[in-house]
Structures are given as C-alpha cells and as structure tokens.
Structure 1
Amino acid sequence: MKKEIRIVGLDDSPFDKFRDRKTLVVGTFFRGGSFLDGILTTEVTVDGTDSTQRIVNMLSNSKFRPQIRVVLLKGLAFAGLNIIDIQEIARKLKIPVIVVMRRQPRKDLKASLERLGMGSKVRLLEKAGPIRKVNHLYVQFAGCDEEFVRKIASMTVKHGNIPEPLRLAHIIASGIMDGESRGRA
C-alpha cells in the first residue's frame, strides 16, 4: 500500500433535529494521513434516506474521484437516522468503504428502530456487516478485508484516536455550522 494513498473522510455537521431539514456533510481529501489536499461538501436530509446516493454523487462528480482509493465514514448514519449503505457505495464506486466508530453502538438500537416502524433502516444496519474492533476503533467495512482496515488505521491515526481525515472533517463541519469547532471527533 502506498504511503500517500488518497483517502476521503466524511462526517456530518451538527444540526437541530427539531428545526433543520438538511445538514451538511464534509469530506476531506487526504494523501495518506498527513496531507489535506481538498474539501468536498454535500447536504443530506435529517432522518432521511438519501445519504448513500448523495455520497455517491458527491464523490462520483468530484475532480478527486480518479485518485480516491478508500472512503472513511464517521459512523454508519449521518443526519440522525439517515443510514448509509456502505455495500452500495463500495459497489458503485469500486473502492473500499470503512465505517469508524469510537465506541460500540447501543445494543438496543435495532429493536428501537423496529418498534418505530423503521425496519428498512435495521436492514441497512445489518447489511453493513459485523462490527469489529481494530486497534482501539470499532469498524465495519465493505470492499476490503480486515488487514487493509488495519493498515489504513495505522497510517491515518495521528492525533488522538481517530483517523486524521475524519478528525479534520469533523472539525470543519462543526466549525462551518457553529462558527467554531467543538466536541471530539
């Protein structure tokens, strides 16, 4: 694997679930885990179903597309419960997709979604595959194997315990929406 593999890290911005209909998704385009070379943005619907298609469109239409070798997502859902289909992104773009989480998701989430009549969202959660612990991160992935995920994690975690493309996407997204960055990536 090249030291300066091109990586896109995606995170959503903060939003008011009672007021906002859409929220911003920020992508950081990195060489390895060290050099930020560009920014991409799109919007997704709060608690909607458009995150997968919006991400595919944003990346497909980007000038960076020919160089992108892996996509990192900060969580499997953006804008509340807008669940991302990582298998579809990997299939359509023909590149690996890695979901990164700081901690294990709530065990009762699927049951809660079923009770709320959101079975289609549960199926997307299940379609993403098992959650695995790699180093100190919880991950799900499509279009690659666990060894590839380990290499990407080792290469991109620089400050703290989250891959640099995701850390910067989080800082930028919260800074744009709130006027200054806040919280942990």
Structure 2
Amino acid sequence: MNNKAKKAFTLIEIMVVLSIIVLMTTIISPRLFRLFKKKDQGNINTVLREFNNLVTIIRQEAVEKQKICRLSFKISKTVQDRDIITMQIMQKDKDNENKFNPEKIYSEYLKTEYILPVNIKIEAVYNGKQNLLEENKGEAFCYISKDGLVQDILIYIAKINEDLKDKYSFKVDPFLGEFIMTQGYLKPEK
C-alpha cells in the first residue's frame, strides 16, 4: 500500500469558501458601484463649485474697485470645443463717457477664467424669459454691480455621456451671489 496519502479539499470546504467569497462580493459591490457613480457625478459638482468661485472673486473685485464687472460665457459652436467663462471689468471709454469697454481681469494668484470639461456644455443663459445666448450669438453676460449684487440669471447645462444627456439648471441668488444647482431644466421666470 501507498503510505503517502494525498491531501485534498473536501466538497464541504470548497462550498464554505465559495459562500464566503459570494457574501463578501455582495457586500462590497454596491459600495463600489456608488463610488464610481459619485466619481461620475463629481464632474458637475466641480463645475458648480468653479462657477461659485468665479462669482465670489468677481463680486469682491466689483466692491473693492467700485466698478461694474461681468462674467462672460462664450459658447463653442462644435461639440469638441469647450465653453469658456471669463471674468471682466467694465472700464469707461476714454472718448465716450457713456460707453463701457470690457477688460479681462488678470491675476497671478486667482483663477479668472474657467474652461468647462469637454462633456459639459452650456445650453442656454436666461435673464427673465430672454435667452442671452441667442441674442448675442453664442455669448452671454452676467453683470455684477458695484455693491456686489449679481444679475439674476438661469443657466442650462447639459452633461453629455455617450448616448445620455443629463440636464441641470444653475440659478444664481442675486444677494448671496451663489449658484444653486437643480436637476432638469427650470422654466425661465417672467
């Protein structure tokens, strides 16, 4: 007889190990799914945070210099190009006192321009019922007064993922100077 007996796993041991693996997978997989979903959702939240940062900086600039400022929204014509938001200060024209010329704000320390990610597009910018993008041929403005009050605007933003198009609305609170995000498109005010 052969004295060397081969050791092997029994069927019960294999079943116990497999059931532990299945249990661990069912516990971990929903958390991983949520993690990836949050990562995908973070893109639009980052855009909202950048919008609010720009508004905060330009409000401070308007109050400090006692000049009217504005955010300029330049919309790209093609899907591959990116939309750009720029901070501008309104300077009086030297020849005509009633005319103001926009000048881009430059800063060594602060971000005065924001380029939106490729998959996020500005669809419309409303002031009341008036679509500012249609009137100005792909450019819209949000004015900030010398007191730091922000023009009441509503921005439609679309997040494009392959076949899906998620819709968001950014509504500005004029007194707080802060954008608030809602899912879907809100109706423009009268």
Report the TM-score, using the length of structure 2 for normalisation.
Answer: 0.26
Higher relative contact order (CA 8 A, sep 6+): 1
Structure with the larger strand share? 2
TM norm structure 1? 0.27
Larger radius of gyration: 2
